[in-house]
Amino acid sequence: ILEATYGDRERDDLPLSDRTARLGMEINEALAAGGNLLVPAFAVERTQELLYAIAVLLEQGTISPARVYLDSPLAIRATEVFARHCGELIDTPDAAELFAHPHFHFLQDADASRALARISGGVIIVAASGMCDAGRIRHHLKNNLWRRDATVLFIGYQVPGTLGKRRT
């Protein structure tokens, strides 16, 4: 007996560089559309992997220099822990520096989060929850989904019955 989230399908085992390149293509396409890129993300580990990849893409000049807003107090605290222990992580020896990238803006309070509604395009907003059922991502979806040029990029599994899975 084996329990697994993705046990019923085969997946390509892509190296980190290939996954990062694919992410870069998605980001460029979303930003070229002119709207905001919303990324519902799980606060611990998935967000830090995403931030690391975005920082690498920014440093390489692979993606346009967009502002990236991390709008999750829990994800911010987890990122601080990841940055302190980056030397112990696989594939991320320079993560502490990359997590402090000048294009990254960490939003702790709800007023700063709500202020993002005034931005109509050209930014990346990473917010919890990863399945869109709670957290700050919900008001970002409300403020952006009606815009034809907005993009939502799902980077994690969406459980049946969650708002993220009901996407069309």
Distances from the Cα of 141 to the Cαs of 48, 64, 131, 146, in angstroms?
21, 23, 12, 9
Q: What is the pLDDT of residue 163?
A: 84
Q: What is the pLDDT of residue 149?
A: 96
Q: Is the peptide bond before 113 cis (omega within 30 degrees of 0)?
A: no
Interior/surface letters 30-52, b for 16+ CB within 10 angstroms, e for the rest = bbeeebbbbbbbbbbebbbbbbb
Q: What is the pLDDT of residue 168?
A: 46
Amino acid at 129: S
Give mean pLDDT in consecutive 10-residue pieces for the chain, a chain of 168 residues.
64 83 96 96 92 94 95 95 81 72 95 95 94 92 94 87 75
Q: What is the pLDDT of residue 94?
A: 67
Phi, psi of 115 (to 5 degrees): -65, -20
Q: What is the pLDDT of residue 28?
A: 97
In the sheet that 37-40 helps form, which strands lie side by side, from edge to edge? 104-106, 67-71, 123-127, 37-40, 151-152
CA distance 46 to 34: 25
Angle of CA points 33, 38, 43, to nearest 5°: 155
Cα 139 to the chain's mean position, in Å?
Answer: 16
